[in-house]
């Protein structure tokens, strides 16, 4: 029998304890063990950025980390972005779920088409905006360049990030 | 892919030929050959394990067939190596020319097809790995020649007779393996 | 009045689900007891299979089953011919060979599946692949499409006498006569190489057979679930009604997720029926480079004859088309190239001939642009060369040859991919050209900017090209619109959606007719359990064909609503208006019933249905256009080249397009901009590089380079609107437009930037390395 | 694309890691940031039997100013080094180069020591270590030793590290007075492997003459290469367009770069010439405070 290790990972603030093979990629752990399928897998060799999650607050490729390495660490996935406080829920109209400001900006600027790369882009750009509250277009494009998107041509994503930055500044 | 190169050994041609036929020497120069056996007339099978840098998984079953042998000047080998990471097949012609009293020029020209995963994801470093491995192996051989020349005086005097050639048939296989390994390795890396 | 929805920029209905990670993609399907499948694929481009031994694989921990072609029995059948050749073309030969579920006697391209392993996890299934022994006898690879036709080329399909799959000639007028009286004939060879569709989501299939109910459910990353449902039912011998194919959210398609009947698509349902467990296969990125179809190697020998004023007298083109190892998609691509070459121009004489060639490379089927890109490249490049010879401005030569606005419908007298004559329905090209030239500042750039930059030592160039794109072909699509007692409106169509925003644009079409708000309309696409007539989303046809079907169904429901409302409100039908979710009598706001009330009244249990009428506020309608609608556009670009490093920076990009009436401008703009990025990829980044042994040398995202955010410019868009007369909404397709003329444009701008005598860009894609070579060669020729 | 099984070991100290290396020998592989190793494993081109994860080893990460230079612990994330004010002050060429490595998501995980020990011929840090004459601290069973960068990189993916040794970190010496530096690179896309890159450190003496010039190239051979030929036309001369151009030409003549599908040997040589010229020009401008 292959070696299996007990791990405990905090994902979106919730602690999960599982026993896994050391070779299990963090991306597969999130998707298939925890059924947090919002993290998407596009290449499994660290190029496309679709699987980007936050590991202790920093964006990393979850296909290039083993789940056992996340033992005792904190992971944030796209499912953990939207605010869950009562005030946020109140702002929401109709049956749409509450959204993080960057998610809202993505919707408002049509920054997604098929939406497959979107979770990875959100998780890349949220910490970027924390670090660069007033980014230039070129800075946004460089920060985005580790995430591939086949649908949008990036233009609306750049605009959405700019919009989120503007709204934040207001 | 075609590979054409040459290397000058500091030793007489007969000596180089003999040395190239000494499995012990070659095995040292060529890490990776785990097994190499005679499987029939002019045909050999072996197992190679290649590893460079991050790549450690490539294990190949190799068949080598020798043709057109003209001792001590030339031979051709036909190579067929298959593993889970891909394959290498093709042929190489090796020529040994006298380049002076104590110098032999080895020229080799290989036409090889690398296939499978190693071809599809390893190409960035094909050229570098090929060059690097070939150079390293040949330099190891050359330094062995130097040590031999320093130690024994009769080593280079062995005539290359036809009877000798048949008895040393296992040996060119190793140099074949050298080229095979080189080629395999050059495809291995990300 | 309800706010007008059709033609406006409403936010997309599907976005919240996608943005929060709640949208279901195929790989997100988790079923109890689900097993995982991995495929052993050929390392060889062309080889005879001597023996396949899976016994080692069965010993691996977690492995449940392993299959080879021999295990499939009667189920082993070549896939269907998806598109037969147009019977309307006289000079046409065609023969087909289609892909098989698992290679049996030989493999014809690298990556062709040989065996399937089923295990409890994908990890274990991959462990087992290493234990399968395959003995092959290599046959020669067939890579070069010219060499493929030589008598000594290895024969790929041994039932044929050569590797030629097809030979087609289409003619209009007398080209030789035109050439004889030409003041100028330019002749060149052009090459357009292969690229990948590379959607961010790879393909995937989940199949679940429920033996007790006799029902098969398949989640499939397909652009065309209904044809897949029908085909699977037929192959597996179960009723169509017992097969449900669901194309949930799809992470991009761009062509190859069409109804291919890929081996995996055919095998997974069969495996599930064999084992009685749900099974999943998710293509990984590496295998996607072999297992998913590709496009577009064509080599054209073309010539253009003109009079002294630069008017086109005729075009002659002879080209080779790389079909790959199998040709299930018939002749769509080369015919698209053949037809699209004519562009927006008046071409009195045209001789076009092509040969489709089998090679030992992955299968070729449409990828965004679908053969049109090389066609546009050839024509636009010939015009550029002619303009240079004639000392004429690039826009002027185009202006002189545009079909005038009163020329429509214009019959090009050849046959299009939909078997119908190539007739342009509408267009007005000159305003597009002028608008684009103005937006990019064409005249000023040439007169002022370029000379100034040149003096500063900078190599900046401009390009401007035009194209026409046949879109929105038949046969048909359908839609069902129904109103629930809650007042919510449901729309179901058969097409799949891969990011085009159908959840929104179809809702807009329906909401407009029924006078409801967008959130009240729920669109379901791509689930054969919900709607089971139709074809699929491809060929820039989703909005045109399915959109018009939604419209037609909504109109029918509207009529039912009005009829019932008039009856219920004691009014005449003419007096009823639909707005704000209600039907009301014009001028008497008190006399109104909500759509929900009316839906309740239309329910037979409440006695409101009289004999002869149908229950419910529901209607199904279909739309099949007589022929496709013709979109068109002009693209312009400014780029800068660093001649020392051969790196290129696209600085500005302008698109003026005519895709008829626009449902949602933001969505259309998104399609255009995304297409341009794909097109730029095909200019300078993306090229599938095969060696002479048929091995793909860049089968990963490390070496196959999709453009990133720093590689593509902002695209400035505007439009000219000539509604299509061939559909009630006047829509034309827009999904592929951005990518079609990009190669031609890039080539022109590059030449303009470098202005090295003798440097002609006659091939796509380029790369910095290739551009370096072209510059070096041109300079050494000086 | 799922990795093959392996045994996972997660030592807490360098000594434990060394003991594990000794125990498992050639079957073991050290896991640092994993941004090169894990993709190779996902492709199943690498199937180490044992993975020794250094990510929980105490004291392997850290940045410390030392005598005007800087020490960077092997397991320091590239992103931490990039953000470090100490690195920016003491080793500005390192700070200038780090953003060229892939993308932030990779640098958040990738380590300085991992990059040096991996010794990919296309990677940036080895060339910078050569240009700056860094020295690397290595520990084995028998103790610690310093290895100058010029002796550390021994070939293709090959270093002076013994099979049972671990890289502890790298020390970049203080930048000399009147020094100028620059890093230039051409890659297909932002963040891709360099087609060619060049790191230079120059110093100016009296009268603006060049005292020393170190030109280190990447992606032109088995490993990072110092072009000694490039220094010839410069040392003792005024850095003019002419002498810089000669130095660049000498650098291009000095290399025999490999070919791949992205760049032929000839194209790489051209890039060496252009980038060396550009880097030297910027570096000399820096010595004169022009940048």
- Rounded Cα distance, C353 and D48, in Å: 55
Mean pLDDT of all residues in C737-760: 96
Phi first, then psi: give them for residue D100, nearest 5 degrees: -80, -15
* pLDDT confidence of residue B166: 30
Give me the residues of C, 633-692, that contact D with CB < 8 A. Answer: 644-647, 685, 689
Mean pLDDT of all residues in C531-548: 83
Of B82, B115, B124, the CB nearest to C110: B115
* pLDDT confidence of residue D237: 95
Q: What percentage of residues in chain C have a pLDDT greater than 70? A: 98
Q: How far is D274 from chain C (nearest CA, A)?
A: 7
Yes or no, beta carbons of D192 and C768 under 8 Å apart? no
Write out chain D residues lying below 8 Å of B128, CB-based.
121, 156, 221-222, 258
Q: Which residue of D has its CA nearest to B121?
A: D43
Write out chain D residues lying below 8 Å of B126, CB-based.
260
Mean pLDDT of all residues in C285-305: 97
- Rounded Cα distance, C733 and A142, in Å: 33
Residue B161 predicted with pLDDT over 70: no
Query: What tens digit of pLDDT does each residue of B59-82 get?
Result: 778 887 878 888 888 888 788 888
Q: Give B81 or C701, the one with higher predicted confidence.
A: C701
Q: Is C154 touching B (CB cutoff 8 A)?
A: no
Q: Is B154 exposed, middle or buried (0-12, 13-18, 19+ CB in 10 A)?
A: exposed
* pLDDT confidence of residue B27: 53
CB pairs under 8 A between A and D: 86
ipTM above 0.85, yes or no: yes
Q: Is C171 exposed, middle or buried (0-12, 13-18, 19+ CB in 10 A)?
A: middle
Yes or no, beta carbons of C645 and D271 under 8 Å apart? yes
Residue B186 binned pLDDT confidence (cut-offs 50, 70, 90)? very low
Test the A interface: residue of C21, C507, C519, C703 with most A CBs within 10 Å: C21
Tokens (6 digits) for C111 = 């990556």
Residue A92 binned pLDDT confidence (cut-offs 50, 70, 90)? low
Residue B160 predicted with pLDDT over 90: no
Subunits with 3+ Cβ pairs within 8 Å of B are: C, D
Q: Give C166 or C610, the one with higher predicted confidence.
A: C166
Q: Is C693 touching B (CB cutoff 8 A)?
A: yes
Write out chain A residues lying below 8 Å of D105, CB-based.
49, 52, 59-61, 124, 146
Q: Is C62 touching D (CB cutoff 8 A)?
A: no
Question: Of B1, B180, B10, which Cα lies nearest the Cα of B104?
Answer: B10
Residue C730 predicted with pLDDT over 70: yes
Q: Which residue of A has its CA nearest to C28?
A: A37
Of B86, B123, B190, the CB nearest to C43: B86
Q: Is the Cβ–Cβ distance between D63 and D72 less than 8 Å?
A: yes
Yes or no, beta carbons of D44 and C685 under 8 Å apart? no
Helix-then-strand count for chain C, H and E: 20, 30
Return the axis-axis angle of helices D265-287 and C768-781, rounded to nearest 10°: 100
Residue D134 binned pLDDT confidence (cut-offs 50, 70, 90)? very high
- Rounded Cα distance, C600 and A154, in Å: 46
Yes or no, beta carbons of B123 and C698 under 8 Å apart? yes
What's the mean per-residue pLDDT of chain C? 94
Residue C719 predicted with pLDDT over 70: yes
Yes or no, beta carbons of D258 and B131 under 8 Å apart? yes
Q: D275 by DSSP, 3-state: which?
A: helix
Q: Which residue of C has its CA nearest to D39?
A: C702
Residue B10 binned pLDDT confidence (cut-offs 50, 70, 90)? confident
Q: Give B126 or C78, the one with higher predicted confidence.
A: C78
Q: Which residue of D has its CA nearest to C776?
A: D267
Q: Is the Cβ–Cβ distance between D179 and D287 less than 8 Å?
A: yes
Query: What tens digit of pLDDT does each residue of D109-126 get?
Result: 999 999 999 999 999 999
Q: How far is C43 from chain B (nearest CA, A)?
A: 4
Residue C682 neighbours by CB under 8 Å, 6+ apart: C195, C373, C739, C742, C743, C764, C765
Q: Is D114 touching A (CB cutoff 8 A)?
A: no
* pLDDT confidence of residue C393: 98
Q: What global pTM score does this model have?
A: 0.94
- Rounded Cα distance, A146 and A165, in Å: 20
Give me the residues of D, 42-81, that contact A with CB < 8 A. Answer: 42-43, 51, 53, 55, 79
* pLDDT confidence of residue B28: 53
Query: What tens digit of pLDDT does each residue of D53-68 get?
Result: 999 998 899 999 999 9
Residue C490 binned pLDDT confidence (cut-offs 50, 70, 90)? very high
Yes or no, beta carbons of A64 and D39 under 8 Å apart? yes
Residue C6 binned pLDDT confidence (cut-offs 50, 70, 90)? confident
- Rounded Cα distance, C444 and C399, in Å: 18
Q: Is A65 touching D (CB cutoff 8 A)?
A: yes
- Rounded Cα distance, D100 and D52, in Å: 28
Test the B interface: residue of C38, C43, C692 with most B CBs within 10 Å: C43
Residue D274 predicted with pLDDT over 80: yes
Q: Give B118 or C323, the one with higher predicted confidence.
A: C323
Residue C141 predicted with pLDDT over 60: yes
Question: Of C497, C24, C250, which Cα lies nearest the Cα of A38?
Answer: C24
Yes or no, beta carbons of B136 and D155 under 8 Å apart? yes
Query: What tens digit of pLDDT does each residue of A30-88 get?
Result: 999 999 999 999 999 999 999 999 999 999 999 999 999 999 999 999 999 988 766 66
Yes or no, beta carbons of A116 and C201 under 8 Å apart? yes
Write out chain B residues lying below 8 Å of C138, CB-based.
89
CB pairs under 8 A between A and C: 184
Numbered residues of chain B with Cβ closer than 8 Å to any chain D Cβ: 52-58, 84-85, 117-118, 121-129, 131-133, 136, 188-190
Q: Give B103 or D185, the one with higher predicted confidence.
A: D185
Test the B interface: residue of C695, C700, C769 with most B CBs within 10 Å: C695
Residue B185 binned pLDDT confidence (cut-offs 50, 70, 90)? very low
* pLDDT confidence of residue C119: 98
Return the axis-axis angle of helices C225-236 and C263-275, rounded to nearest 10°: 50
* pLDDT confidence of residue C96: 97
Residue C98 predicted with pLDDT over 50: yes
Q: How far is CA C236 from CA C261, C266, C782, in A?
A: 13, 9, 66
Q: How far is B71 from chain D (nearest CA, A)?
A: 34
Residue C8 predicted with pLDDT over 90: no
* Partner residues linked to B3 by β-bridges: B110
- Rounded Cα distance, C370 and C103, in Å: 27
DSSP state of C78: P
Yes or no, beta carbons of C696 and B120 under 8 Å apart? yes
Mean pLDDT of all residues in C319-337: 97
Write out chain C residues lying below 8 Å of B84, CB-based.
129-130
Q: Which residue has the tokens 């958040």?
A: D108
Question: Of C13, C8, C6, which Cα lies nearest the Cα of C729?
Answer: C6
Query: What tens digit of pLDDT does each residue of C395-452 get?
Result: 999 999 999 999 999 999 999 988 999 999 999 999 999 999 999 999 999 999 999 9
Yes or no, beta carbons of C200 and A48 under 8 Å apart? yes
* pLDDT confidence of residue C778: 94
Q: How far is C648 from chain B (nearest CA, A)?
A: 22
Residue C265 predicted with pLDDT over 80: yes
Q: How far is CA D86 from CA A120, D71, D91, in A?
A: 31, 10, 8
Bond before D224 cis per omega within 30 degrees? no
Q: Is C705 touching D (CB cutoff 8 A)?
A: yes
* pLDDT confidence of residue C780: 85
Write out chain B residues lying below 8 Å of D121, CB-based.
125, 128
Mean pLDDT of all residues in D201-205: 94
Q: Is the Cβ–Cβ distance between B7 and B138 less than 8 Å?
A: yes
* pLDDT confidence of residue D213: 96
* pLDDT confidence of residue B118: 84
Query: What tens digit of pLDDT does each residue of C517-529 get?
Result: 999 999 999 999 9
Q: Which residue of D has its CA nearest to A121?
A: D105
* pLDDT confidence of residue B189: 30
Q: Give C162 or D156, the one with higher predicted confidence.
A: C162
Yes or no, beta carbons of A3 and D38 under 8 Å apart? no
* pLDDT confidence of residue B178: 45
Residue C494 predicted with pLDDT over 90: no
Q: Is D12 touching A (CB cutoff 8 A)?
A: no
- Label residue C17 left, alpha or beta by phi (over 0 means left) and psi (-120 to 50 means alpha): alpha
Residue C666 neighbours by CB under 8 Å, 6+ apart: A110, C9
* Partner residues linked to B110 by β-bridges: B3, B92
Query: What tens digit of pLDDT does each residue of C32-50 get?
Result: 999 999 999 999 999 999 9
Mean pLDDT of all residues in C605-630: 80
- Rounded Cα distance, D203 and A159, in Å: 44
* pLDDT confidence of residue B24: 58
Residue B171 predicted with pLDDT over 70: no
Question: Of C641, C633, C610, C617, which Cα lies nearest the Cα of C746?
Answer: C641
């Amino acid at each position: 029998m292959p070696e299996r290790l007990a791990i405990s990972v905090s994902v979106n603030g919730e602690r999960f304890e599982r026993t896994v093979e050391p070779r299990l990629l963090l991306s597969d752990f999130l998707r298939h063990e925890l059924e947090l399928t919002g993290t998407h897998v596009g290449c499994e060799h660290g190029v496309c950025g679709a699987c980007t999650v936050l590991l202790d607050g920093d964006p990393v490729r979850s296909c290039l980390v083993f789940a056992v390495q996340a033992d005792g660490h904190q992971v944030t996935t796209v499912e953990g972005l939207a605010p869950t406080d009562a005030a946020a829920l109140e702002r929401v109209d109709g049956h749409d779920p509450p959204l993080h400001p960057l998610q809202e900006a993505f919707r408002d600027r049509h920054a997604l088409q098929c939406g497959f790369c979107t979770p990875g882009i959100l998780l890349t750009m949220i910490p970027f905006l924390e670090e660069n509250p007033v980014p230039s277009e070129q800075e946004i494009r460089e920060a985005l360049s580790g995430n591939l998107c086949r649908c949008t041509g990036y233009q609306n994503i750049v605009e959405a990030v700019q919009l989120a930055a503007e709204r934040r500044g207001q | 892919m075609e590979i054409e190169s040459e290397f000058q050994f500091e030793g007489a041609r007969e000596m180089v030929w003999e040395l190239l036929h000494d499995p012990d020497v070659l095995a040292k120069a060529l890490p990776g050959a785990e097994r190499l056996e005679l499987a029939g007339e002019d045909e050999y099978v072996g197992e190679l394990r290649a590893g460079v840098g991050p790549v450690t998984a490539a294990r190949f079953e190799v068949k080598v067939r020798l043709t057109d042998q003209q001792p001590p000047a030339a031979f051709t080998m036909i190579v067929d190596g298959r593993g889970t990471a891909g394959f290498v097949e093709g042929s190489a012609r090796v020529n040994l020319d006298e380049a002076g009293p104590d110098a032999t020029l080895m020229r080799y020209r290989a036409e090889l097809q690398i296939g499978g995963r190693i071809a599809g994801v390893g190409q960035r470093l094909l050229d570098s790995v090929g060059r690097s491995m070939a150079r390293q192996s040949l330099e190891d051989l050359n330094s062995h020649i130097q040590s031999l020349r320093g130690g024994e005086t009769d080593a280079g005097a062995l005539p290359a007779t036809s009877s000798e050639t048949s008895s040393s048939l296992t040996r060119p296989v190793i140099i074949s393996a050298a080229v095979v390994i080189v080629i395999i390795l050059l495809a291995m890396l990300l | 009045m309800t706010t007008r929805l059709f033609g406006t920029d409403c936010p997309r209905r599907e976005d919240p689900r996608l943005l929060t990670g709640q949208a279901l993609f195929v790989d997100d399907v988790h079923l109890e007891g689900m097993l995982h499948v991995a495929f052993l694929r050929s390392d060889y481009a062309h080889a005879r299979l001597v023996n396949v031994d899976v016994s080692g694989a069965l010993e691996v921990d977690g492995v449940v089953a392993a299959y080879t072609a021999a295990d499939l029995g009667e189920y082993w059948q070549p896939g269907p011919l998806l598109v037969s050749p147009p019977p309307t073309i006289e000079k046409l030969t065609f023969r087909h060979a289609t892909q098989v579920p698992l290679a049996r006697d030989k493999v014809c391209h690298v990556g062709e599946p040989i065996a399937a392993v089923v295990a409890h996890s994908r990890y274990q299934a991959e462990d087992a692949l290493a234990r399968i022994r395959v003995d092959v006898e290599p046959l020669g690879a067939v890579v070069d499409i010219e060499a493929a036709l030589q008598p000594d080329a290895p024969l790929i399909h041994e039932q044929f006498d050569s590797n030629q799959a097809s030979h087609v000639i289409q003619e209009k007028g007398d080209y030789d006569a035109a050439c004889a009286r030409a003041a100028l004939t330019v002749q060149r060879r052009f090459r357009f190489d292969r690229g990948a569709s590379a959607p961010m989501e790879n393909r995937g299939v989940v199949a679940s057979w429920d033996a007790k109910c006799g029902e098969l459910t398949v989640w499939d990353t397909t652009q065309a679930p209904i044809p897949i449902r029908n085909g699977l039912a037929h192959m597996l011998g179960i009723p169509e009604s017992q097969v449900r194919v669901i194309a949930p959210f799809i992470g991009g398609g761009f062509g190859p997720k069409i109804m291919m009947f890929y081996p995996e698509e055919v095998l997974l349902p069969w495996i599930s029926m064999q084992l009685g467990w749900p099974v999943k296969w998710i293509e990984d990125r590496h295998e996607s480079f072999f297992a998913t179809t590709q496009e577009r190697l064509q080599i054209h020998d073309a010539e253009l004859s003109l009079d002294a004023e630069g008017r086109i007298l005729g075009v002659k083109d002879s080209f080779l088309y790389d079909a790959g190892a199998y040709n299930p998609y018939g002749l769509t691509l080369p015919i698209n190239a053949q037809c699209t070459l004519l562009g927006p121009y008046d071409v009195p004489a045209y001789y076009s001939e092509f040969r489709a060639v089998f090679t030992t490379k992955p299968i070729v089927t449409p990828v965004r642009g679908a053969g049109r890109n090389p066609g546009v490249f050839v024509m636009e490049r010939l015009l550029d060369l002619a303009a240079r010879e004639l000392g004429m401005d690039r826009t002027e030569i185009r202006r002189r040859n545009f079909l005038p606005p009163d020329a429509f419908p214009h019959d090009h007298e050849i046959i299009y991919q939909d078997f119908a004559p190539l007739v342009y329905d509408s267009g007005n090209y000159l305003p597009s050209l002028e608008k684009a030239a103005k937006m990019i500042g064409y005249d000023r750039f040439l007169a002022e900017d370029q000379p100034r930059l040149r003096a500063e030592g900078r190599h900046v160039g401009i390009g401007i090209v035009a194209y026409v794109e046949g879109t929105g072909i038949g046969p048909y699509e359908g839609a069902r619109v129904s109103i629930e007692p809650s007042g919510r409106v449901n729309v179901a169509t058969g097409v799949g959606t891969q990011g085009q925003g159908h959840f929104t644009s179809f809702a807009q079409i329906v909401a407009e007719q029924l006078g409801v708000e967008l959130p009240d309309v729920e669109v379901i696409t791509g689930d054969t359990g919900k709607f089971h007539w139709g074809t699929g989303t491809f060929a820039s046809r989703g909005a045109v064909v399915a959109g018009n079907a939604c419209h037609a169904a909504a109109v029918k429901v509207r009529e039912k609503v009005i009829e019932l409302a008039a009856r219920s409100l004691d009014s005449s039908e003419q007096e009823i208006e639909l707005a704000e979710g209600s039907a009301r009598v014009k001028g008497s706001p008190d006399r109104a019933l909500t759509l929900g009330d009316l839906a309740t009244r239309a329910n037979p249990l409440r006695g409101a249905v009289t004999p002869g009428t149908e229950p419910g506020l529901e209607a199904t309608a279909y739309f099949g256009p007589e022929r496709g609608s013709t979109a068109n556009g002009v693209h312009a670009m400014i780029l800068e080249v660093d001649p020392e490093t051969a790196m290129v920076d696209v600085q500005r990009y302008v698109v003026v397009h005519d895709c008829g009436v626009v449902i949602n401008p933001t969505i259309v703009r998104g399609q255009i901009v995304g297409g341009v990025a794909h097109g730029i990829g095909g200019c300078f980044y993306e090229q599938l590089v095969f060696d002479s042994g048929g091995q793909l040398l860049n089968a990963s995202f490390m070496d196959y380079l999709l453009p990133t955010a720093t590689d593509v410019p902002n695209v400035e868009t505007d439009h000219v609107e000539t509604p299509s007369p061939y559909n009630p909404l006047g829509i034309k397709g827009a999904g592929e437009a951005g990518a079609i003329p990009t190669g031609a444009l890039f080539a022109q701008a590059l030449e303009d930037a470098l202005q090295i005598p003798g440097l002609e860009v006659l091939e796509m894609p380029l790369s910095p390395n290739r551009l370096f070579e072209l510059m070096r060669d041109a300079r050494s020729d000086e | 694309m799922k990795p093959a099984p392996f045994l996972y070991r997660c030592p807490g100290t360098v000594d434990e890691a060394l003991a594990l290396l000794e125990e498992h020998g050639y079957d073991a592989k050290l896991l640092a940031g994993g941004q090169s190793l894990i993709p190779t494993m996902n492709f199943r081109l690498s199937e180490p039997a044992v993975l020794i994860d250094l990510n929980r080893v105490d004291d392997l990460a850290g940045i410390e100013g030392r005598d005007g230079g800087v020490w960077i612990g092997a397991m320091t994330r590239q992103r931490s080094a990039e953000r470090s004010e100490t690195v920016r002050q003491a080793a500005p060429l390192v700070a200038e180069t780090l953003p060229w490595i892939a993308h932030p998501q990779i640098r958040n995980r990738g380590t300085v020591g991992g990059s040096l020990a991996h010794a990919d011929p296309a990677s940036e840090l080895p060339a910078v270590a050569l240009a700056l004459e860094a020295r690397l601290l290595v520990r084995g069973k028998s103790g610690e030793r310093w290895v100058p960068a010029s002796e550390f990189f021994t070939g293709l993916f090959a270093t002076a590290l013994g099979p049972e040794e671990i890289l502890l970190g790298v020390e970049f010496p203080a930048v000399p007075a009147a020094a100028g530096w620059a890093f230039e690179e051409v890659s297909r896309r932002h963040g891709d492997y360099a087609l060619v890159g060049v790191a230079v450190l120059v110093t100016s003496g009296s009268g603006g003459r060049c005292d020393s010039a170190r030109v280190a190239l990447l992606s032109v051979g088995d490993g990072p290469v110092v072009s000694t030929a490039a220094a010839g036309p410069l040392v003792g001369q005024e850095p003019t367009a002419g002498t810089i151009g000669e130095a660049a030409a000498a650098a291009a003549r000095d290399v025999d770069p490999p070919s791949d599908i992205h760049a032929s040997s000839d194209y790489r040589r051209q890039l060496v010439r252009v980038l060396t010229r550009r880097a030297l020009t910027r570096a000399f401008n820096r010595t004169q405070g022009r940048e």
